[in-house]
Amino acid sequence: RAGVLTIPFFASMLLAALIAVRSSGARGVVMDALSLVANLVVGIGVLLLAEREFSGEPICGANDNASGVAVNIAAARALVERSFGTLEVILVFTGAGEVNASGMQSLIRDHPELVAGETYMVNLDSVGRSPFKVSFAEGPVISRPVSPELVCLALRAAQNAGIELTPDRIRFTSDIYPALVRGAKATTIFGEEADFVRRSPKDRPENIDERSLIDVVRLVCGIARLLEREG
């Protein structure tokens, strides 16, 4: 359903632009036709949202994003066994990602130091199956660039561990987006979703690849080691 709603989202952006143009006094057949199409698509999107909310069934959310939680916990166990010098590692479970990333917004509001200075933030999203990607930009309309240094570190850590990792853009937003807006040095590591229809009953534990989870734990630890060595 999330993929279906992509078109209504951009149609709503078009509709907003058309309203702005109309308010300036512009008229014409083309404007009327575009307005009609945009209104129809937005209306369909609203109906799809209503159908999903009122007749949908509960889902496990194994890949999106219990997989990220599992990797965070496993990485904590692995990192606690290693003594870091000046590097401080903080593992955070923000939650509320589907509610305008309010968990992340609360975190950076209460701890503004996390989006300043030499703090790097790595977001783990839907990492239940390889191949893995690292975002170089995020955002549906205004694309926010991520930290190029952190992307390079992630790619180097992946190469050192023999893990496939490729740069890609996230066309909507992840939990890290509010931090990017505020200038944080951050990026997102995410996995393959071909067999996981997001927010659907297919997102179940039996579809998770355990080897992939282990690889992401190794990747996170590898990034931490590089930050310690070069920080």
Q: Which domains does the chain have, with CATH numbers?
A: 6-55 (no CATH), 62-230 (3.40.630.10)
pLDDT interval class at 195 (50, 70, 90): very low
- For 47-56, 104-113, 176-185, 211-220, which range has the lowest pLDDT when averaged over its residues? 47-56
DSSP state of 207: G
Using the predicted structure, report yes or no on whether residue 11 has a pLDDT greater than 60: no
Using the predicted structure, report yes or no on whether residue 87 has a pLDDT greater than 50: yes
pLDDT tens profile 20-61: 655 655 556 666 666 666 667 667 767 766 666 666 677 788
- What's residue 6's pLDDT? 52
For the record, the structure tokens of 133 come out as 């990607």
CB 130 within 8 A of CB 207: no
CA distance 74 to 96: 21
Within 10 A of 80 (CB to CB), how many other CB atoms are there?
10
- What's residue 207's pLDDT? 87
- Please give the average per-residue pLDDT across 173-199, as a whole number: 82
Q: What is the pTM of this model?
A: 0.77
- Please give the average per-residue pLDDT across 84-89, as a whole number: 82
